[in-house]
Amino acid sequence: MKKLPVALKKITSYRVIYGDTDQMGIVYYANYLRWFEKGRSEFLREIALPYSMIERQGFHFPVVEVSCRYVESARYDDLIQIETELSECRRASLMFNYMIWRDSDRSTIATGMTKHACTDLTGHMIRIPKILLDALEKAAL
Amino acid sequence: MKKLPVALKKITSYRVIYGDTDQMGIVYYANYLRWFEKGRSEFLREIALPYSMIERQGFHFPVVEVSCRYVESARYDDLIQIETELSECRRASLMFNYMIWRDSDRSTIATGMTKHACTDLTGHMIRIPKILLDALEKAAL
Amino acid sequence: MKKLPVALKKITSYRVIYGDTDQMGIVYYANYLRWFEKGRSEFLREIALPYSMIERQGFHFPVVEVSCRYVESARYDDLIQIETELSECRRASLMFNYMIWRDSDRSTIATGMTKHACTDLTGHMIRIPKILLDALEKAAL
Amino acid sequence: MKKLPVALKKITSYRVIYGDTDQMGIVYYANYLRWFEKGRSEFLREIALPYSMIERQGFHFPVVEVSCRYVESARYDDLIQIETELSECRRASLMFNYMIWRDSDRSTIATGMTKHACTDLTGHMIRIPKILLDALEKAAL
């Protein structure tokens, strides 16, 4: 495993819309995975390597595993914060951890993780590209 | 305008899941557009020209306009019926009409339409492909 | 029709995520309706009457009609701007207009409108509540 | 833990629509959780206790944990099968396991699980209701 130079984190925010809720009056559980994606997307932008650039360079990071624990319910109009951390960077896989909380009272809403393979555009597993390793190194300085 | 040989219609059904609803206790308004898509997708399969085949032949039918009137509310666990009709087939555009009703009491839930351009895979407007015209003709026999 | 004191508008922004796109490489057409909702939600917050407050006061503004014209395609990672205008405020209905553009090149991506009924929490049509009229008046000063 | 009388399973099917895919050309990872929900919804209908009835009796089964492994990619127009098994039924929680495969070639697409609390309509944790235990017992005969 590639040792990560330092803990790299990024916090981004999102305002819950009506379309995110379900008839239980809380955010539908699948929508948290959209927030995870927003979190890692902003993480990559933060290290100056937006995912659109990764794709243009010929790489994909498809999700191979996800898990989420729902601690409290997010509700309509809540401003939530999404903290994303790159927690592992192996030869051919990545892992992100997520912590989601409500901005108003700082209460934890959910925690989760996604594991990603690294593939070329045809879907074959390949090594983590050097552009990512370089971007991580620069960001850690 | 290409005169349509006969009114071609297809009815398909869908069971509302929790994820389709919002906190008003009814189906979120954007999800009706997913049902329209399901309707025209099954329409195309019915005339033996599934959209996946259209794409493999090098064509796209992107939506250029949509409208929907919400008459009654669809609710969780409702079995709904989606009737799709190809209502226009012009040189370089198509129009579908939709009628959505609740299966249990036959009440109309929504009506709508989508207008589609015909493009090649790079997004340039082109003529409606012959494979569609042929499929329509065969289906009308 | 209640004449609107002045044109009230609100612009809000959104960054397209992967989950918004479809395999055509553009934003799926139903997701524009989520943006319309975000637009009117921020409009109501702007006039100091967030929709959550409207609900707590016993009112709903369910969508009874929507239309959208898709002019250009929004793509992954685009920063889009959503301009929302309250264009009509009748006895028992409201209408919002939307204009969506890409931030980078200012090109128009879509235009649309939603028409809303005003109901109580049991779904019966009622008059537009005074709290909305008052908020509009204050905002127009 | 309440020992389950027999392994209760239900298989249901779903046709992938365009709106389920993303620009990688595969189903967006969050949408699998919608399928899990469809699976357990049909499971409950199978044991003659649709979730709508559970809610009317005053109970909710909110998801407290989810995990999913993505083995192969589901694609547009795939007919997928969702097998749902109630794998645990404790004092105040339930667990479902899911197996998703492509109908055409029987290849496994994903596996996953959801863990649910049992609450009353105000969100307080309570015991699994007797109506569920009775329905499970009847279904196992």
Q: What is the ipTM of this complex?
A: 0.94
Please tell me the distance in Å from B121's CA to the nearest CA on chain C: 9
- What does DSSP say about strands C63-70 and C59-60: parallel, antiparallel, or unpaired? unpaired
Given a cut of 50, the residues of chain C with pLDDT beneath it are: 1
Q: What is the mean pLDDT of residues A70-92?
A: 96
Residue A116: pLDDT above 60? yes
Q: Which of residues 20-59 of B touch D (CB under 8 A)?
A: 33-34, 37-38, 41, 50-52
Cβ–Cβ of C19/A34 closer than 8 Å? yes
What spatial distance separates the first Cα and last Cα of chain C, rounded to whole Å? 20
Rounded mean pLDDT of chain C?
94
Domains of chain C: residue spans and CATH: 9-140 (3.10.129.10)
Kindly identify which residue of chain C lies nearest to residue B29, measuring between CA atoms. C63
Residue B24 has pLDDT above 70, yes or no: yes
β-pair type (C79-89, C63-70):
unpaired
- Provide the pLDDT confidence category of residue B135 given band limits of 50, 70 and 90: very high
B77 catalytic residue (yes or no): no
C81: helix, strand or coil:
strand
Asked if residue D15 has pLDDT above 90, the reply is: yes
Q: What is the pLDDT of residue B8?
A: 87
pLDDT in tens, A38-54: 999 999 999 999 999 99
Which is more confident, A104 or C1?
A104
On the CB side of B26, CA atoms within 13 Å amount to: 19
Give residue-wise pLDDT tens across range C83-108.
999 999 999 999 999 999 999 999 99
Long-range contacts of D50-53 (CB under 8 A, 24+ apart): D50/B77, D51/B18, D51/B76, D51/B77, D52/B76, D52/B77, D53/D131
Tell me the C-alpha to C-alpha distance, in Å, between residue C114 and each of B48, B82, C32, C37, D72: 36, 22, 12, 9, 40
Find the mean pLDDT for residues D63-88. Answer: 97
- Give the C-alpha distances (Å, rounded to integers) separating C75 from A39, B140, D94, D133: 18, 38, 40, 49
Flag whether the pTM goes above 0.90: yes
Average pLDDT value for residue range B34-59:
96
Read off the pLDDT band of B4 (50, 70, 90): low
C69/chain B closest Cα distance in angstroms: 4
Which residue is listed with tokens 């949509």? B66
CB A92 within 8 A of CB A126: yes
Q: Which of C74, C97, C100, C82 is nearest to C39 (CA)?
A: C82
pLDDT digits (tens, 9 = 90+) for B64-94: 999 999 999 999 999 999 999 999 999 999 9
String of DSSP letters for chain D:
-BPPSS--EEEEEEEPPGGGB-TTSSB-TTHHHHHHHHHHHHHHHHTT--HHHHHHTTEE--EEEEEEEE-S---TT-EEEEEEEEEEE-SSEEEEEEEEEETTT--EEEEEEEEEE-EETTS-B-PPPHHHHHHHHHHH-
Nearest to A69 by CA among A116, A101, A110: A110
Place of tokens 């398909």: B12
Q: How far is CA A125 from CA A52, A55, A67, A121, C33, in A?
A: 19, 14, 22, 10, 36
Question: In terms of Cα–Cα distance, which of C52, D129, B54, D70 is closest to A77?
Answer: C52
Q: Which of A27, A28, A76 to mutate to test the interface with B (most CBs of B within 10 A)?
A: A28
**pLDDT at residue D140, rounded to an integer:** 83
The percentage of chain B sitting over the pLDDT mark of 90, rounded to a whole number, equals: 91
What's the confidence (pLDDT) of residue A62?
A: 96
pLDDT, position B140: 83
Could you give the percent of chain A with pLDDT greater than 90?
91
CA gap C16, C21 in Å, rounded: 8
3-state secondary structure A87-103: EEECCCEEEEEEEEEEC
Answer yes or no: are the C-beta atoms of A92 and A22 closer than 8 Å.
no
Return the closest-CA partner of residue A9 out of A54, A53, A39, A37: A39
pLDDT single digits (tens) A50-80: 999 999 999 999 999 999 999 999 999 999 9
Of C18, C22, C25, the CB nearest to D19: C22
| Residue located via tokens 């003709």 | B137
| Range with lowest mean pLDDT among B106-110, C30-34, D3-7, D50-54 | D3-7
- Cβ–Cβ contact A18 with C under 8 A: yes
Dihedral sign for Cα atoms in the order C37, C38, C40, C44 = positive
Chains that touch D (3 or more CB pairs under 8 A): A, B, C
In angstroms, what separates the C-alpha of A2 from chain B's closest C-alpha? 39
Q: Which pLDDT score, from 0 to 100, does residue C112 have?
A: 98
At A36, the amino acid letter reads: F
| Nearest to B33, CA basis, from C36, C84, A70 | C36
Give the pLDDT of residue C34: 98
Contact D76, D18 (CB under 8 A): yes
